[in-house]
Amino acid sequence: MSVAPVAAPDDGSLLRAVASGDPQAFAVLVERYQASFFRLAARTVGDEREAQDCVQLAFFRIFRKARDYRPGLPAAPWLYRILTNACVDAWRRRRHEVLVAEPHVGATRPADAATRIDLAAALARLPTQTRVVLLLHAMEGLSNAEIAAIRGVSVNTVKTQIARARKQLRALLGEERR
Amino acid sequence: MNTSAYDILSRDLQTEAPVPPIGFDREILAFVRDTERALAAVPRIDLAATRAGISRIAIGRGRTDADDGAARRICERARAELDEFFAGERGFFTVPIDLSSTAPFQRSVLESARGIPLGEVRSYQWIAERIGRPGAVRAVGTALGRNPIPLIVPCHRVVRSDGSLGGYAFGLDLKRHILLLERGILGLVGDRSRRVVCRTGCPRERALREDRRVAFASIDDARAAGYAPCPECSS
């Protein structure tokens, strides 16, 4: 007697199951997205502890709002929107905290900054919106249309922001190497 | 050289991506379960108001103390806004407050605390400096501890300089809970269909479906993305 292989449920089916109160379906979604969410959050907010908070808050919102997901629409952008919203909001809060803690931020730079490429530092200097768009593109391989839907901008804006991010990073990294 | 530096960065984004700690999935599930439970335990609140605004908030039995119709309407509005706040659906309050019973020093401390944005924290020292009394940290703590309008005047956003919570008249568990609740409320939410940005709790924002919500870190960021500030709620 052979057992027919069971196809893994797609994200949309899982979200519908979460909406109807299925805790197993939620656990599968968490398992499936936790690593991707974490690396994206860590690069967006530039701090791993903060990234863990963002991912947890995002999953909490996914759990509460699964009912709002409309079957038939692509699920991944729906999920990534909630995550990037949590990261952007964390950045809003954190930026103020940094200003309070370090009123002279920017006045001095660490000595090793000139000799090595500090990815986090380079990314942190991009505008929030540009950084999120670049990371969705470069790390998660999402299409311009998906990114446009996630961040609520036009496809042309996404293209412009990716190009601008590349240019700014080139300039920043060139500056780091001098 | 510059291009190759960028290539290294692109490669690093792919290959040197941060990995979550072991057991992170279990942590997430526990967080969601605990937060659901914590949010379900909304405290019952007693309210008092004058015609000018809310004058007292306390944990109690859900009573309302108002002398006339105008004060009663203010209490009803405050209760509705507080319910939305505890449901994670409001990030600011519009109901008027009445601090006329407080002394000038305490009032300046409380006004200063009102300037701390949603989800953020500041130290007692920060408040003391803001009101021009940098040596009065202890007195600031006392003034906040006697805050007659907690929640709406967000004394819970004031913590010790070392990051520990400090005090709270309603108990440290509730302070921790409220700070957690606030971290889950987005400060600025754009409507991606209408290209308008609101604060969480604005009627326009509350009508938004999840797939139309886009968070922004500042009004300037929203403007740069082509979103106009909502005329109803954006300050």
Residues B75-123: tens digit of each pLDDT: 999 999 999 999 889 999 999 999 999 999 999 999 999 999 999 999 9
Residue B9 pLDDT class (50, 70, 90 cuts): low
pLDDT, position B202? 93
The pLDDT assigned to A98 comes to 43
Tell me the catalytic residues of B.
Answer: 155
Q: What is the CA radius of gyration of chain B?
A: 21
- Confidence label for B174 from pLDDT (cuts 50, 70 and 90): confident
Q: Given this model, what pLDDT does residue B199 score?
A: 93
Mean pLDDT of B142-161: 95
Q: Give pLDDT, residue B7.
A: 65
Is the domain spanning A11-176 CATH 1.10.1740.10? The answer is: yes
Asked if A158 and A144 touch (Cβ cutoff 8 Å), the reply is: yes
Instruction: Examine the pLDDT at B11 and tell me if it is beyond 80.
Output: no
- Chain centre distance of CA B129: 22
Poorest-confidence range of A7-16, A116-125, B15-24? A116-125
Taking residues A31-51, report their average pLDDT: 94
CB pairs under 8 A between A and B: 169
Distance CA A40, CA B17 (A): 8
Residues B5, A176: C-beta atoms closer than 8 Å: yes
Higher-confidence position of B8 and B166: B166
Regarding beta strands B45-49 and B64-66, do their DSSP bridges make them parallel or antiparallel, or are they unpaired? Answer: parallel
CB-CB under 8 Å, B184 with A177 = no
**What is d(CA B150, CA B142) in angstroms, rounded to the nearest whole number?**
14
Structure tokens given for B71: 């004060």
Which of B3, B11, B28 would best serve as a mutation to test chain A binding (most A beta carbons within 10 A)? Answer: B28
- Find the range with the poorest average confidence among A29-33, A37-41, A71-75: A71-75
To the nearest whole Å, the CA of B12 is away from the closest chain A CA by: 8
Q: Residue A173 and residue B95: Cα distance in Å, rounded? A: 49
φ, ψ of residue A92 in degrees (nearest 5): -55, -45
Question: HEC profile for B92-144?
Answer: CCCCCECCCCCCHHHHHHHHHHHCCCCCCCEEHHHHHHHCCCCCCHHHHHHHH
DSSP state of A178: -
Compute the distance between CA of residue B204 and CA of residue B233 in angstroms, rounded to an integer: 9
DSSP state at residue B117: P
Beta strand ranges found along B39-83 (DSSP E): 45-49, 54-59, 64-66
Predicted pLDDT of residue A104? 33
pLDDT for res B6: 59
- Predicted-complex ipTM score: 0.86
Q: What is the pLDDT, as a whole number, of residue B80?
A: 96
pLDDT of residue A111: 41
> Distance between CA B29 and CA A43 in Å, rounded?
23
Q: What is the pLDDT of residue B233?
A: 87
The CB-side HSE value for A112 (13 A sphere, CA atoms) comes to 4
The arithmetic mean of pLDDT across residues B193-221, rounded, is 92
| pLDDT value, residue A99 | 40
The most confident of the ranges A14-23, A168-177, B37-46 is A14-23
CA B86 – CA B80 distance, rounded (Å): 10
**How much is the mean pLDDT over chain B?**
91
Using the structure block, give the residue that is written with the tokens 């809970």: B177
Q: How many residues would you count in chain A?
A: 178
Interface of B with A in 148-207 (CB under 8 A): 183-184, 186-190, 192, 195
The confidence score (pLDDT) of residue A178 equals 47
**DSSP assigned state of B227:** -
Range in A81-90, B95-104, B152-161, B167-176 the model is least confident about:
B167-176
- Which residues on chain A are in Cβ contact (under 8 Å) with B119? 89, 92-93
Tell me the HSE value of A8 on the side-chain side, using a 13 A CA sphere.
Answer: 6
Mean pLDDT for B200-224 is 92
Least confident of A112-121, B30-39, B60-69, B190-199: A112-121
The answer to which of A6-10, A57-61, A113-117, B105-109 has the lowest mean pLDDT is: A113-117
Specify the pLDDT at position B28: 97
The domain limits of chain A are 11-176
DSSP character at residue A68 = G
Kindly state the tokens that stand for B210.
């999840």
Average pLDDT, chain A: 83
pLDDT, position A125: 87
Q: Over range A23-33, report the average pLDDT.
A: 96
Q: Is pLDDT of A114 > 60?
A: no
Which B positions 29-48 lie with beta carbon below 8 A of chain A? Answer: 29, 31-32, 35-36
Confidence label for A96 from pLDDT (cuts 50, 70 and 90): low
Q: What is the mean pLDDT of residues B64-71?
A: 93
